[in-house]
Amino acid sequence: MTLKTSAIGVVALCASTLFIGSMTTSVAQGAFPENSYATNSTYGKKWRCLRGFDLKQETCVKVTIPANAFLRSSGDGWECERGFKQRSKECVTITVPKNAYLTGRAYGSGWECERGYMADNKGCNKITVPANAFLSDTGYGNGWKCDRGFEAKSNACKPIDVPANAHVGYSGNAWECTAPHRRIGKKCKIQ
């Protein structure tokens, strides 16, 4: 019987019985590829690639890590360091515009605008908040919301015109009829 050794644990293949020990692995030649170890799994493959190796066509190939990258926690690939993003098989520097910060995400631009700024295709622009409004936490729209009792009209917040038998609604930016009244057009009437 030909034996192969790697640094995972002791495995000896004798007839049809598999014995597992510690420190080194010994398996009959051809039982599984180099840079792999036995899993003792009852289904699927009976082996896995060592950390730092990836499965390619039934073999374990060393993961090539480019500059500014590190081995992924799973051990079978790589990801870029903070401040870099993957482009093809390399890590390129993320250019962070003024009034922005790195997000640490592997997708998108890799940066977000600071609070009070909104992203466009050129960078981060200061949000102009009109009277009776406040900065919103959403990443879309105009970057602000009207105070309670006001509604957005173009780039301003105007007082809500609340008709008789109505009140400012739950959202704070629209009105609702007071029960038992029902909305009919721009008025509240009993039906």
pLDDT digits 0-9 by tens, 123-153: 999 999 999 999 998 767 889 999 999 999 9
Predicted model pTM: 0.60
61 forms bridges with which residues in the sheet? 54
Question: What's the mean pLDDT in 86-93?
Answer: 93
Predicted pLDDT at 115: 92
Residue 31 — pLDDT band, cuts 50, 70, 90? confident
Residue 99 — pLDDT band, cuts 50, 70, 90? very high
pLDDT mean across residues, the chain: 83
Spatial distance between the Cα atoms of 92 and 131, rounded to a whole number of angstroms:
42
User: 23 is written with which tokens?
Assistant: 């420190």
